[in-house]
Amino acid sequence: MTHVTRFAPSPTGRLHVGNIRTALHNWMLAKQSGGRFLLRIDDTDAERSREDYVEAIRADLEWLGLEPDGEARQSQRLALYERAFAALREAGRVYPCYETQQELELKRKIRLGRGLPPIYDRGALELGEAERASKEAEGIAPHWRFQLDHTAPITWDDGVRGPQKFDPAQLSDPVIRRADGSWLYMLPSAVDDLDMGITQVLRGEDHVSNTAVQIQMFTALIAEQDGAGQMPGFAHEALLVGAEGKLSKRLGSLGCDAFRERGFEPQAIVALLARLGTSLPVEPIADRAVLLESFDLATFGRAPARFDDAELERINAALVHQMDYAAVAERLPEGMDEAGWHAIRPNLSRVSEADEWWRLVTGPIDTRAFSDEDRAYLAEAVRSLAWGDDPWRALTATLKETTGRKGKPLFLPLRQALTGMDHGPDMGELLPLIGETRARERLEQAAQG
């Protein structure tokens, strides 16, 4: 089946890692089937929605390589919601309610005290026309609820959770419109999913009860459209938790801006989140075709998916070690060519670290204090240094023969003198980059102490 999926963030803040994972999985579900991935900006909350967040959402998706095939904004689709609302009202599926927040909270507490589920008691349905008119004459504007049908259970086959069944009598009739006329999430989302031809709604498990309610909305809307439109399928993936196994506030603030600041590659984030929470191994896979080929909702587990910084670090480093020079050339320090990248790349966990390692070539380097014996050895190295196609191998071979040194005593003083470090890039690759003049100067300085 060719899928049409959507990612529907509210522009009331930056995307966080949970949003990113949802967007990625919807993109993968669509692209794997040759379908379309749509971005829907849920900006009906005019007071909290901000245009800079809209731009940030677009920029983040572009950075991750999840550019949508189309975009819609709910603020530009209000007429659709008005028509749907009018049709459902005419059909008796929405009704006005006049309780204040304080009154609703008191009702909930009373029901809880009686051992009943804290759902709305449908008190507004008991009001007559005269009572409604009286309240509105007092200046009390109603909010509006969708009336659930209690005659049959709500069921669906969830793409992750399997068969689902809800008793609608155990659910509150959801508020779909506020007293000021603004919309809540439920109805506009269902209207848009039908109108945009969404075939699969993939989202977090915190929306499971919303789905139960919306299934009745879809059914009612399709009936009002004389059967036009098709209800999407639904899948609810487990939520992300921190490495410690608990829900973490930190995950709510960890987004693309934080990932960029810390030097992570977008493909590392994609490789990690693509399989996080599935039975498939998390691997440093840069080729998205490989990730798409293995993507399957059947591999998604019910247990919370653990996001671990250490795992992202591991994936990022492994992907950096795979990256070709052409992919990073514009991000490298001045003067670093392909040979320099090849030499330094195995020591990097982030591309941004190339600057520090490149100083081993360009200098200055840390000076080391050597023993008299090692200074004499380094003086011999100055005399033995001969430049050719493989100066490191030639130098160490000569010194091994003339000094009898081997292993660590042979190699370590040379590395320390030439780079100021005890470890680092392969010296066979690094020494030609340092160059004969600079190498000789560093050896002479180390030998002189």
Closest CA to 18 of 300, 256, 267: 256
Which residue did the predictor score with more confidence, 247 or 156?
156
Banded model confidence at residue 247, pLDDT cuts 50, 70, 90: low
Closest CA to 22 of 155, 200, 162, 196: 200
Closest CA to 409 of 396, 420, 394: 396
Measured distance CA(230)–CA(220) in Å, rounded: 12
pLDDT digits (tens, 9 = 90+) for 110-133: 999 999 999 999 999 999 999 999
HEC letters along the chain: CCCEEEECCCCCCCCCHHHHHHHHHHHHHHHHCCCEEEEEECCCCCCCCCHHHHHHHHHHHHHHCCCCCEEEEHHHCHHHHHHHHHHHHHCCCEEEECCCHHHHHHHHHHHHHCCCCCCCCCHHHHCCHHHHHHHHHCCCCCEEEECCCCCCCEEEEECCCEEEEECHHHCCCCEEECCCCCECCHHHHHHHHHHCCCCEEEEEHHHHHHHHHHHHHHHHHHHHCCCCCCCCEEEEECCEEECCCCCCHHHHHCCHHHHHHCCCCHHHHHHHHHHCCECCCCCCCCCHHHHHHHCCHHHECCCCEEECHHHHHHHHHHHHCCCCHHHHHHHCCCCCCHHHHHHHHHHCCCHHHHHHHHHHHHCCCCCCCCCHHHHHHHHHHHHHCCCCCCHHHHHHHHHHHHHCCCCHHHHHHHHHHHHCCCCCCCHHHHHHHHCHHHHHHHHHHHHHC
Residue 269 predicted with pLDDT over 80 = yes
The residues near 62 (Cβ < 8 Å, ≥ 6 apart) are none
**To 10 degrees, the CA torsion angle through 134, 135, 137, 141?**
-150
Residue 246 predicted with pLDDT over 80 = no
Residue 229 predicted with pLDDT over 70 = yes
- Give the residue carrying structure tokens 């007071």: 47
- CATH class (in words) of the domain with range 362-448: mainly alpha
Residue 156 predicted with pLDDT over 90 = yes
Q: Supply φ then ψ for residue 342, to 5 degrees.
A: -65, -35
Measured distance CA(85)–CA(60) in Å, rounded: 34
- Taken in order 245, 250, 253, 259, the sign of the CA dihedral is negative
Average pLDDT across the chain, whole number: 95
The residues near 437 (Cβ < 8 Å, ≥ 6 apart) are none
Measured distance CA(217)–CA(175) in Å, rounded: 12
Residue type, 404: G
Measured distance CA(56)–CA(16) in Å, rounded: 12
Domain locations along the chain: 362-448
Banded model confidence at residue 244, pLDDT cuts 50, 70, 90: confident
Distance, CA of 176 to chain centre: 29
pLDDT digits (tens, 9 = 90+) for 248-263: 777 877 899 999 999 9
Residue 198 predicted with pLDDT over 80 = yes
- Give the residue carrying structure tokens 């609608």: 168
Banded model confidence at residue 426, pLDDT cuts 50, 70, 90: very high
Residue 217 predicted with pLDDT over 70 = yes
For 122: left if phi > 0, alpha if psi spans -120 to 50, otherwise beta; the answer is left
pLDDT digits (tens, 9 = 90+) for 388-405: 999 999 999 999 999 999
- Give the residue carrying structure tokens 């639904």: 234
Q: Above pLDDT 90, what percent of the chain?
A: 95
pLDDT digits (tens, 9 = 90+) for 70-107: 999 999 999 999 999 999 999 999 999 999 999 999 99
Q: Output the CA–CA distances (angstroms, integers) from residue 356 to 11, 158, 242, 317, 361, in the order listed.
A: 38, 50, 31, 16, 10
* CB contact at 8 A, 191 and 176: no
Mean pLDDT of 205-217: 97
